Amino acid sequence: MITLAGIIGSGKSSLTEILAQELGTKPFYEPVEDNPVLPLFYRGNEIAAKRRANGEKNVSNPYAYLLQTFFLNRRFKMIKQAKKESNNILDRSIYEDAMFMKMNTAMGNATEIEYAIYKELLSNMLSELQYVSDDPTEDLMVMINVSYETMIKRIKKRGREFEQVETDPSLVNYYHNLLDYYSDWARSYDISPFLMIDGDKYDFVENLADRGHVLNQIESKLVELNKISAADFEQLKAKRKLKY
């Protein structure tokens, strides 16, 4: 299984689609458009931040735990489906979900009790899936690393109102915190092979040459992990030359 990781607006869904088409495998997307909790969560963050600014103590977001368990439940289902075949692709990692819950707890958006229950639920799910395999080459984690400026530009482009810093200024702090957490997460991730893509340098959505560079990086790693053959890699590159 190939999993894409990265902050909001890094291009995970776009690269998931591109990579699935390239490899002829199935993409599995994070539930956003059909997620009834996500707008409530952002609104809850805004309200909690204003109440804290006014001096209130122990103010949490009532939707933080609900949102993360929503994602966790959906991710659990998608992982079971994705692992039925080789090289299927998820556009976010279940381990990122845990990072989001950790950050929201540290920021006061979720309580320590909620975080403890969440961690226990996650542990039970991973045990059920046997997701952490004895074979360290089973899965590939691909992280798209972007700066704050690139993230904001892409968030503006896709136009979800509840994600805009102009609509909710408290998101500036939230997004910067998230970048810090992602940086720590990337340094400590050791569960499976890991590949970092420079999302500032390579515009794999709009620039076909950049797309080719990114696909070469990922496919070279798959060859290294014996998930595709060297001959298949050469065929994929040849097809791209004709297509692009």
CA–CA separation, 233 and 226 (whole Å): 11
Q: Regarding beta strands 194-198 and 27-28, do their DSSP bridges make them parallel or antiparallel, or are they unpaired?
A: unpaired
Would the annotation count 29 as a binding residue? no
To the question of whether residue 94 is assigned a binding role by annotation, the answer is no
Q: Which residues of the chain have pLDDT under 70?
A: 31-33, 130-138, 244
Render pLDDT for 91-132 as a digit per residue (tens, 0 to 9): 988 888 889 899 989 988 899 999 999 999 999 988 887 644
Domains present along the chain, CATH in parentheses: 2-243 (3.40.50.300)
Q: What is the pLDDT of residue 134?
A: 46
Annotated binding residue at 158? Answer: yes
Catalytic site positions: 91
pLDDT of residue 136: 43
Query: What is the structure's pLDDT at 159?
Result: 85
108 backbone φψ class: left, alpha, beta (φ>0; ψ -120 to 50): left
This prediction has a pTM of 0.85
pLDDT of res. 68: 92
Is 8 annotated in a binding site? The answer is yes
Instruction: Give the other-Cβ count within 10 Å of 52's Cβ.
Output: 15
Q: Torsion angle of alpha carbons 115, 120, 125, 126, nearest 10°?
A: 90
Distance CA 53, CA 47 (A): 10
First to last CA, the chain: 26
